[in-house]
Amino acid sequence: MRYFIRTVQAVVRKELRQTFRDKRMAAILFIAPVLQLTLLGFAVDMDVDNVPTLVVDQDRSPASRDLLARMLADATFARTQEGDDPDGPMARGEVSVAVVVPRGYSEDVKKGRPAEIQVLIDGTDPVRAQSAMAGVLEFLTQESLHMATARAVAMAQASGRAVEVPMISVVPRVFYNPSLKSPIYMVPGVAAVVLLVVTTVVTAMSIAREKELGTIEQLLVTPMRPVALLLGKIIPFALLGLIAGGLVIAVGTHVFDVPVRGSVLALFLGMLLYLMSTLGTGVFISTVANNQQQAILGSFFFIMPAILLSGFMSPVENMPEWIQLISRLDPARYFVQILRAVLLKGAGVEDLAGPLLALLTFGVGILALGTLRFRKRVA
């Protein structure tokens, strides 16, 4: 047993020494996650604002100018062009929305006739199109309501009667992310993805490298046990993964104002279990790969679906039933869930028993499978 611990220690020390001596490896571990988080955090911005808008004012009346000015006062739409023909600019991608106020608009309004306003929306990007459409509809509905109310009041006053207009006033209150900023939703997801990429690839590569160089054969003729080698490989990358994970969360809170409302213990417990899964996957991949190239390819074979099914971009609940079933095998899905719950909703360990247990199961399973295969392959 003492010998076992000593060999594990020796491998851990060797791995750390090699990792920090290889500047590229150290960069993959520490600089890449922070850089990726910052870039992705800014790039994956689902907020819809400053939609380039073409205004076609065929009415050219004070009423139409006033309507358009108020519509564009909100930052949702930005008037980038004025013209007569909306088709060309939209096809060229210069504008995403075109608002056409037809001739006779002010006349219709004045006389109390239904007025029409045409809104053209570029549906190439459905998320953006839906947000833009909702924005336009909301503004114009409010506008109609105001006009109708004003007219009712005016008519009542003219006939000398008191006015009573029934109305429902909606008071929305948004929980957890009140300003509805998408980085606050995205950053925890990005953190899970970044940790997945870094730890799985690095572990798989580090074991595959020993195979590629032939050092593993040299280790096998020593009295060292294969499990000691595996532990010696996993422990340093688990430690470095925890540090990288902490770094990513720190960048998230400082750069993107992501709050940490819940228990830090739950956060690190989740991260530890998640790392067990990603490192175990790295070990498993290394038993299939014979060299570092195959290890990288193998890792991405796992990483791509793991990211897509994790729910970090679109909610898992929106996926078809059978894909939701597959996503239950995805450790990233549980970690994204844990991160969002802890950071945004203030959850603690007791609230997250389900996903924590799922991660534990996956982690133990894949580590056991990887270890068995590793022992079988090398012995």
Partner 1 sequence: MNDSARVLVAHQLHKRFKAQEALRGLSLGVAPGELYGLVGPDGAGKTTALRIMAGVMGPDEGYARIAGKDPLSGDPAVRSMLGYMPQQYSLYGDLSVDENLAFFGKMFCLDKATFSAQRERLLHITRLGRFGDRRADALSGGMYKKLALACSLLPKPRVLLLDEPTNGVDPVSRRELWALLFELVEDGMAVVVSTAYMDEAERCHRVGLLHRGQLLMEGAPTRLMAEHGNAATFEDLFLAAVREAA
Footprint of partner 1 on this chain (CB under 8 A)?
3, 6-7, 9-10, 14, 17-18, 21-22, 213-215, 217-225, 379
Tokens of 73: 């006062």
Of 14 and 103, CB closest to partner 1: 14
**Would you give the end-to-end CA distance of the chain in angstroms?**
20
Of 172 and 214, CB closest to partner 1: 214
The b-or-e profile of 166-176 (16+ CB within 10 A means b, else e) is eeeeeeeeeee
Residue 221 CB, nearest distance to partner 1 (Å)? 5
Owner of token pair 């791995």: 15
Tokens of 372: 């068995």
Of 2 and 254, CB closest to partner 1: 2
Of 10 and 265, CB closest to partner 1: 10
CB 306 within 8 A of CB 330: yes
Q: Tell me how many degrees the CA angle 269-228-31 measures, rounded to the nearest 5.
A: 50
* H or E element that contains 52: strand 51-57
Tokens of 332: 């990233």
Residue 125 CB, nearest distance to partner 1 (Å)? 47
d(CA 258, CA 250): 9
Of 162 and 221, CB closest to partner 1: 221
d(CA 289, CA 168): 64
Of 212 and 351, CB closest to partner 1: 212
Of 75 and 379, CB closest to partner 1: 379
**Phi, psi (degrees; rounded to nearest 5) at 121:** -130, 135
CB-neighbour burial class of residue 5 (10 A; exposed 0-12, middle 13-18, buried 19+)? exposed
Residue 288 CB, nearest distance to partner 1 (Å)? 20
